Structure 1
Amino acid sequence: MYAIKKKYYGGKTIDKGHFITGCGDPENGFKLFVCEGCHHVRKVPYRCKGRFCTTCSVGESEEWSRLLSEDVLQVNHRHVIFTVDEGLRDIFLLHRHLLKIFMDEAARLLVDYFQKKIKVTPGIIVGLHTFGARINFNPHVHILVTMGGMTKTGEWKGYDFLPFEMLRKQWQTIVLKLIRKELTVAEKKPIQSKLQKAFSDRPRTCIFE
C-alpha cells in the first residue's frame, strides 16, 4: 500500500484514500445471502464505490471507454501528453487554480496549431492528471487529438504530422509565461532560479504516442 503524502494531497483526498483502503473489508460491513434450499451462506463485503478505487472504478471506466469509442470520429488519432518540469511542480501544488489554465492552454496549443497549419479545427478529448504512477504530485495533461479536422465548410481534411520539437518549445514557453503572469512578484522571487533552469534545460514536457 502506498503511503499517503500529506504534502501532495488535501484532507478530502486523504479521507478518500483511507476509505479506499477499507474497500471490501468485512469489518466495515457486509451483506449475507442465504440459499433457502441448501442453506448455504455467502458473505459479501461492502465496497467503497470510490472513483479512485482500482476495484470499484473498473466497470465505470470500461463503460466510459466504450461510450467514448462510439462517439469519436473514426479517423486516426494521436495521444499527446503535456507535462511540466519537475522543478516547477510545487508551484502548481501551492497554486491549484493554475491547473485549469494549465489544461486549457495545452488544448489551445494543439487547436491553434491545426487552425494555423491546415485551416481546420481538430477534435480533442482532454484529461488532467495530478499524480503519477508513484502517487507523487505530477500534473500533466492527456490529449487525444484527431489527425486532421473540419474545415469552415464542414469538410474533413486529414493530416499526418505533429512537429514534436516545435510544440515542445511552445509548451515550455506557455508554462513559463503562465507562471510569471499568475504569480505575484513576491511569489516569483524565491523561484527565479527554477524558472531560468526550466527555460534553459530541455525537459521532456511534451510526449507523443
Structure 2
Amino acid sequence: MTLQTIVQRYRHRFIEQFGHALSRDQWSALNAIEGCRQGPYGEMAWTCQRCSHNTHTPRSCGHRACNLCQDQSTQAWLQRQEQKRLPVNYYMVTFTLPKELRGVVRQYRSTCYDLLMRCAAQTLKTFAKNDSTLGGELGFCAVLHTHTRRLDYHPHVHIVVPGGAVNKARRQWCKVRGQYLFNGRALAKAFRGAFLKALFQAGITPGRTPKKWVAQCKRVGKGTEALRYLARYLYRGVISNTNILSDDGCNVTFRYRDANTHQWKTRTVTGEQFIVLILQHCLPKGFRRARDYGYLHGNAKAVMHILQWVLKVQRPAPPTKKTASLPCPHCRSPMRVTGIYPRKAQPG
C-alpha cells in the first residue's frame, strides 16, 4: 500500500469534496504524487556498461511532498550537518504556536511560517547574547514542521543548537556549562511577544490568543539522533509507505508512534480525509523549511573551520556525490544514464 495508490484511487472523490478549497501548491503536490514515476515527467534512458543493453524508466516528480522522491537530498543535507558537528552537548529547542492561531496561520501560510522561523531564531539569538556565560553568537539549525505524528495540523519549529557561542568581542569560544541551556518558560514568553508583534507589523490580526505558550529546551546528546529526526521529514513528505497499513476502498489506516508512550498506534480515516491530512502540510513554493544560523550558516565557513581547529575536531571526509545507477536486467552490471526525455519516449 502506497500514498500514490491511495491518491489515484480517491482523487475524484477528494476533488468533489475538497477541490474548491485547494491552493495552487496543494494542486501541484496532488498531481506530483499521483504522476510520480508514471510517465508525465518524462523518461530516463539507461545503457549497461558491460553488455550495452538499453532501457527506459519513468522519471520521478521531485516534489518534496512525495514520499518516493529526494532521498539523496535528505542524505546530502544530513552529511552537510555532520560536516559541521562539534564535540559539545547539543540541545533541541522547540517553539510551538497555540491552537488558537492555527486558523490565521492557515490563511497566511507563507507569511506566518516565515515569521515563526524568524521570531524563533531571534529569540534564541537574544537569549545567547544576554546570557552571562555565553554572551555571544550561537550557531543552530532550524527546521519547520507543520504536523503531529497523527498528521494533524500543528505548526512548530525544531532547532538543534550546539552548546556553545562565539564571543566576537573577546574572540573567544564560550561553552555551555552543565546540562542546561535556557529556561523553556522564559523562551516561550519572549517568543510570544516577538511573534505577536511581528504579526501586527505584517497587518495580520490574530484575534484572541492565550497568554501561556509552549517552548521546550532539552539536551539531546551529541546531536546525531536529533539531526536524523529532522532529516526524516525534510523532503519526503510526512508519512512513509511502510506506515500506511491498509485501504479497504473506503477507509485508510496508518500507524504512528505515540510521542508520550513511544508505542505504535493506528488511526483510520476515509480515503478523502487521508489526502486532506497529507496536503494540508504542503509548504508554499520556494519556502525554505531548513535554515542555518550563526556560525553554522554557509557564509560562516571560516569561523567554523577555526572552531573545529580550536576544538580539535577530526573533520569527516567531504561527501561524494552519488551517480544514479540501475542494475542491468541481463548481466546485473550497473547501468548509467545516457539521456533524459521530457516526454515519454516514442517506440522505434
Q: Same fold (TM over 0.5)?
A: yes
8 A contact 1:34–1:40 mirrored in 2: yes
Q: Measured at CA, do residues 122 and 29 of structure 1 come closer, stay the same or move farther in structure 2, by a change above 3 Å?
A: closer
Q: 1:123: which partner in 2?
A: 139
Structure 1 residues 130-174: Cα deviation after superposition (integer angstroms, max 9, x where no partner): 445555543222212121211222221111412122212322333
Q: 1:139: which partner in 2?
A: 155
Query: Whole-Å Cα distance in 2 between the matches of residues 179 and 74 of structure 1?
Result: 38
Q: TM-score, normalised by structure 2?
A: 0.48
2:118 corresponds to which of 104, 122, 129:
104
Structure with the larger helix share: 1
The residue type equivalent to 2:114 in the other structure is K
The residue type equivalent to 1:68 in the other structure is Q
Task: State the SS of the aligned residue for 1:125.
Answer: strand
Query: Whole-Å Cα distance in 1 between the matches of residues 75 and 185 of structure 2?
Result: 34
Q: 1:150: which partner in 2?
A: 166
Task: State the SS of the aligned residue for 1:97.
Answer: helix
Name which of structure 1's ranges 92-101 and 20-29 shifts more when overlaid on structure 2: 20-29
Question: Deviation at 1:6?
Answer: 6.3
Are residue 52 (structure 1) and residue 65 (structure 2) matched?
yes
Question: Deviation at 1:121?
Answer: 1.3
Q: Measured at CA, do residues 116 and 34 of structure 1 come closer, stay the same or move farther in structure 2, by a change above 3 Å?
A: closer
The residue type equivalent to 1:167 in the other structure is L
The residue type equivalent to 2:120 in the other structure is A
8 A contact 1:8–1:136 mirrored in 2: no
Task: State the SS of the aligned residue for 2:61.
Answer: coil
The residue type equivalent to 2:174 in the other structure is K
- 5+ long unaligned stretches in structure 1: none
Q: 2:198: which partner in 1?
A: 178
Name which of structure 1's ranges 73-82 and 107-116 shifts more when overlaid on structure 2: 73-82
Query: Whole-Å Cα distance in 2 between the matches of residues 9 and 176 of structure 1?
Result: 27
Q: 1:169: which partner in 2?
A: 189
Q: Measured at CA, do residues 137 and 38 of structure 1 come closer, stay the same or move farther in structure 2, by a change above 3 Å?
A: same
8 A contact 1:8–1:93 mirrored in 2: no
Are residue 114 (structure 1) and residue 109 (structure 2) matched?
no
Q: 2:239: which partner in 1?
A: none
Query: Whole-Å Cα distance in 2 between the matches of residues 24 and 60 of structure 1?
Result: 18
Where do 1:81-96 residues align within 5 Å?
81-95=94-108, 96=110
Where do 1:185-200 residues align within 5 Å?
187=205, 191-192=207-208, 195=209, 198-199=210-211
- 5+ long unaligned stretches in structure 2: 8-13, 221-348
Question: Deviation at 1:93?
Answer: 2.1
Question: Deviation at 1:70?
Answer: 0.4
Task: State the SS of the aligned residue for 2:60.
Answer: coil
Q: Measured at CA, do residues 100 and 148 of structure 1 come closer, stay the same or move farther in structure 2, by a change above 3 Å?
A: same
Question: Deviation at 1:22?
Answer: 2.1
Task: State the SS of the aligned residue for 1:56.
Answer: coil
Question: Deviation at 1:101?
Answer: 2.3
8 A contact 2:44–2:56 mirrored in 1: yes
8 A contact 2:29–2:66 mirrored in 1: no
Task: State the SS of the aligned residue for 1:50.
Answer: coil
Task: State the SS of the aligned residue for 2:83.
Answer: helix
Query: Whole-Å Cα distance in 2 between the matches of residues 71 and 39 of structure 1?
Result: 42
Q: TM-score, normalised by structure 1?
A: 0.75
Q: Measured at CA, do residues 84 and 128 of structure 1 come closer, stay the same or move farther in structure 2, by a change above 3 Å?
A: same
The sequence identity of aligned pairs, in percent, is: 21
Name which of structure 1's ranges 54-63 and 132-141 shifts more when overlaid on structure 2: 132-141
Task: State the SS of the aligned residue for 2:137.
Answer: coil
The residue type equivalent to 1:54 in the other structure is N
The residue type equivalent to 2:195 in the other structure is V
Task: State the SS of the aligned residue for 2:138.
Answer: coil
The number of residue pairs the alignment matches comes to 199
